[in-house]
Amino acid sequence: MNKIEHIGIAVKDLEKSNEIFAALFGKSHYKMEEVESEGVKTSFFQVGSNKVELLEGTNENSPISKFIEKKGEGVHHIAFSVDDILSEVARLKKEGFIVLNEIPKKGADNKLVVFLHPKSTNGVLIELCQEIA
């Protein structure tokens, strides 16, 4: 793993949260997009060399909507950048981590993504991200 790629925060109202985080960071988000396959709208903020991703569910069955229903708004995941997502998945499986989706899927911000189950990472949802060439 190279670095923390971003921290994902689940929110109920993306527009309202954009205002809150713009005031917090002193600047607006640089990108918004919808990932239909995941039922989520995202907004990204650049904070120094780090990124913060706000996530709002677009329907009641989306993972973000279910997360908020169960735990409320807050930190949803920590994402790490990797150079080769397939070899990293293979390595982590050998180490005993539970991989939620072994086949990378297209995520937000031009990334291929794989998630590790929180049961195997001390309760933290981990996302692996590889830039799509």
pLDDT digits (tens, 9 = 90+) for 50-107: 999 999 999 999 999 999 999 999 999 999 999 999 999 999 999 999 999 999 999 9
pLDDT digits (tens, 9 = 90+) for 32-45: 999 998 999 999 99
Question: Among residues 87, 69, 79, 81, which one has the least CA distance to residue 42?
Answer: 79
> What are the residues facing 125 on neighbouring strands?
77
Q: What is the pLDDT of residue 48?
A: 92
What is the pLDDT, as a whole number, of residue 75? 97
pLDDT at 133: 84
What's the pLDDT at 83?
96
- For residues 81, 95, 87, 123, the Cα torsion angle rounded to the nearest 10 degrees is -30
Tokens representing 83? 């150079």
